[in-house]
Structure 1
């Protein structure tokens, strides 16, 4: 892993962690990084030719070929297939390499972002001008990720931990964070999901901030080759499923939907195979390792997958009532209600930002 520093508009450093690949070898001092060849392969996949890929990566045509030839020699297999007058495409090995990298990034980036946020806050507390930051615990999602980006440069800032909704709400109840993210499906499964959260949500103590409404459903390869149209298809022997991790709200929703159809989880091929983010589920399916999985529509769109809608979910931040007037909380709400953030959320495929930043009691939100 590499860590890098930058400056945000507020003049404080920012810590970032990124996944990296190296090829180990007896003659390699510290290993051979794959960063350049992976970027080049991704660009070739997008542009269909080496010249355009080289320009996208800031490399000359000759240098780009040099990178490719070097790694073809290291792997012992070709990476490209060139068709006369039809451009260049990746070999199956290169395609698998590129998809493996996309899966790794989708799986690791939320964890690395959370660790980077934790490290940054630890270091900033040691600075003379260091101020306490708001602590947000939430499951990974596009609206949460965007909020962290829009909070850059705003004092006092936001410290993030990616946790399941249950873990986040338990942390709020224990005073270990200031905001806890959780999602609730609209409709018939809302009461069961609220019952699951009830030990940590208290009407007398908590308020809710509405983040967004999002579409959740099945991801399937483009064209839906296996004709997967609903949860009942998960019981088919020819359908391979990839789940979300134990304890996640999405996994609980999956269990509720299967229970309604009287489908035992043992009948779902791949039920115990899990990923930690919507993007990781999408990458898993796009790389051919599964036929379907469940997540938010944005992730399906970004990986070129088809989407079968199953539910609309409201995503909230819970907070203690006595913190709502704190300057730090008002600053956060100002960002959430600002046009920049709301417009960004509104353009995410499958997201609705019409009530972003709205304050509600639990009774107002759920009756």
Structure 2
């Protein structure tokens, strides 16, 4: 079976919305004009080009399209006529949907030509507050840069914390989001994970939020899982996060602090891609507990047992701090309206939201002088 690919063009002209393959135009012209030369003239193309394209399409589709008889009018084969019929049927049935698709694309592209609109591409560890921020920005919150009104659109791709920072370093986004436990010192897994990815003078940390990580358990917490030690003692079925996620790093840090080994966790190797997925696994009875945020637990109808506080950071390259989109984002994060909205999300409070912070202040294991000597 041959697969379809859809393409579109950008133009200043106002024209009907069409999703049409060039082959159909060739067949239509040849059929209407009765010859390849006539079809070529009607399309403003050379005979050689039209003839070559028809032959190429016959090879591609494995069927003849035109009856090639010298001295006779060009006729479409049965297969060629069936293609024309299929096109007419599809166009008749899909015209409203095609027009709606074109209108939606035009609305999206209108943003690209609007100097007041700024798009910030952000790769980040999964976070409910970031999803809320994206919707908050779409409401057209009043922002101004150099006294001119601006609109902000956040293009957020949720991925693991490690992958998010790598995406930033590889130029696939202009900002990344990751999170770390509060109060960690040096020589920890968190340091070993993030230190190679972040460089003082090159990266800038921006405050975003403080949030609580804890155990998501079924309503009533029937197994009495109040600590990771309880999870191990009861051999409770656990749902972990994927390697490279910030929550996986947090879990490993908490296990170390509790004197536990990963091998003691029943289900350490079972992974889910997000807080919501872990919560759903618990709600469906596929496991007894998982580490996550309070908002995900509440949405799934679960109980939440707080275990630790962490900071959720945003990071960008120093050179990006002058970009209009980043400036608009920092301004939005500092508004009272946004900070109040964040406070309404279970387990979240604003912390230095929108403030450019010292890396050593928020990542105390990052000692620039020590790093410089080691280098």
Q: Indicate the TM-score class for this superposition, using the shorter chain for normalisation.
A: 0.5 to 0.7
Quote the Cα distance in structure 1 between the aligned partners of 2:105 and 2:310.
Answer: 32
Quote the Cα distance in structure 2 between the aligned partners of 1:193 and 1:122.
Answer: 43
2:127 to 141, 152, 155: 141
Counterpart position of 1:283: 280
* Pair 1:322–1:283, CA change in 2 (3 A): same
- Between 1:182-191 and 1:198-207, the stretch displaced more is 182-191
Quote the Cα distance in structure 1 between the aligned partners of 2:256 and 2:210.
Answer: 24
Structure 1 residue 125: deviation in Å? 8.6
Deviation per CA, 1:153-173: give whole Å up to 9, x if none. Answer: 463522221121111111212
5 Å-filtered alignment, 1:198-347, equals 198-236=195-233, 238-347=235-344
Structure 1 residue 330: deviation in Å? 1.1
Task: Say yes or no: does 1:124 pair with 2:109.
Answer: yes
Contact 2:207 2:351 in 1 (8 A): no
Counterpart position of 1:356: 353
3-state SS, counterpart of residue 151 of structure 1? helix
3-state SS, counterpart of residue 140 of structure 1? coil
5 Å-filtered alignment, 1:7-22, equals none
Q: Structure 1 length as normaliser, TM-score? A: 0.62
Structure 1 residue 185: deviation in Å? 0.4
Structure 1 residue 262: deviation in Å? 4.2
Contact 1:210 1:315 in 2 (8 A): yes
2:173 to 174, 177, 197: 177
Quote the Cα distance in structure 1 between the aligned partners of 2:251 and 2:329.
Answer: 32
Quote the Cα distance in structure 2 between the aligned partners of 1:210 and 1:248.
Answer: 20
- Between 1:252-261 and 1:123-132, the stretch displaced more is 123-132
Structure 1 residue 237: deviation in Å? 5.1
Residue ranges of structure 2 left out of the alignment (5+ in a row): 1-103, 141-149, 365-375
- Equivalent residue pairs, number: 249
- Runs of at least 4 residues off by over 4 Å: 119-123, 125-132
Counterpart position of 1:186: 182
Contact 1:236 1:268 in 2 (8 A): no
- Between 1:188-197 and 1:353-362, the stretch displaced more is 188-197
3-state SS, counterpart of residue 151 of structure 2? coil
Quote the Cα distance in structure 1 between the aligned partners of 2:337 and 2:105.
Answer: 25
Quote the Cα distance in structure 1 between the aligned partners of 2:224 and 2:327.
Answer: 48
Contact 1:184 1:194 in 2 (8 A): no
Structure 1 residue 298: deviation in Å? 1.7
Quote the Cα distance in structure 2 between the aligned partners of 1:205 and 1:320.
Answer: 6
Contact 2:118 2:324 in 1 (8 A): no
Task: Say yes or no: does 1:197 pair with 2:173.
Answer: no
Contact 1:150 1:335 in 2 (8 A): no
Residue ranges of structure 1 left out of the alignment (5+ in a row): 1-118
* Pair 1:266–1:125, CA change in 2 (3 A): farther
Q: CA RMSD in A?
A: 2.6
5 Å-filtered alignment, 1:13-92, equals none
Structure 1 residue 325: deviation in Å? 2.2
Quote the Cα distance in structure 2 between the aligned partners of 1:278 and 1:312.
Answer: 16
Structure 1 residue 329: deviation in Å? 1.2
Quote the Cα distance in structure 2 between the aligned partners of 1:260 and 1:214.
Answer: 19
Quote the Cα distance in structure 1 between the aligned partners of 2:224 and 2:251.
Answer: 19
